Chains A and B, each alone.
Chain A
Amino acid sequence: DGGITQSPKYLFRKEGQNVTLSCEQNLNHDAMYWYRQDPGQGLRLIYYSQIVNDFQKGDIAEGYSVSREKKESFPLTVTSAQKNPTAFYLCASNRGTNEKLFFGSGTQLSVL
């Protein structure tokens, strides 16, 4: 089945630790995105990538990093510089930035 796979579903981070969230898509989409959702709030854009080996900061990029070495993969690293990382993280993709957007099932990150 075509879709967007995020893993793990739940992740716990210790103080000072970097953690990486995985996002893989087999939809042959060029564009991929990472959003953060806090309880009771909308989605805020962290990073996006329109093409392999290229990505841009979104509205809340501080404390996060990404890479786009393959078309199907867009991992997000939450670094120790992100002081409030507890949130629900959603990966999305589409054929182009003006196309219909599709989401993965999300990763809940919590701090120990």
Chain B
Amino acid sequence: GIQVEQSPPDLILQEGANSTLRCNFSDSVNNLQWFHQNPWGQLINLFYIPSGTKQNGRLSATTVATERYSLLYISSSQTTDSGVYFCAVRYDYKLSFGAGTTVTVRA
């Protein structure tokens, strides 16, 4: 099956800092999504981004499908951005998830 690798595994930020999370995948995909899991376990879909760039407030994402990677940018981070960020790619009718990046934003 497809391999999905996320980096870094952990990230500690001071409030107000910017950061970039990376997702590499081993095969061509037509569906890539980014999720945020809050400390209570709820997963929220941030982006559906098989290619190109999208922005949603302080978050933005870019997927370069031909080079098999996607980036999630967090700008002016806030403590509410803390949690685990997952990318997921589709193969064979299902989404395969990476291991996630745990982000801690300190006040």
Using a CB–CB distance below 8 Å, which chain A residues touch chain B? 33, 35, 41-45, 48, 50, 56, 58-59, 88, 90, 92, 97-103, 105-106, 108
Contact = CB atoms under 8 A, between A and B. Distances in A.
Given A98-B30, A101-B88, A88 B41 contact: yes
Interface of B: 1, 4, 30-31, 33, 35, 40-45, 48, 86, 88, 90, 93-100
Main secondary structure of the interface of A (DSSP, over half): strand
Contact of B42 (A59, A98, A106): A106
B93 A48 contact: yes
B94 A48 contact: yes
A101 B43 CA distance: 10
B99 A101 contact: no
Given A42-B100, A88-B41, A106-B41, A101 B33 contact: yes
Given A100-B45, A106-B41, A42 B94 contact: no
A88 B99 CA distance: 15
Contacts of A101: 33, 45, 88, 95
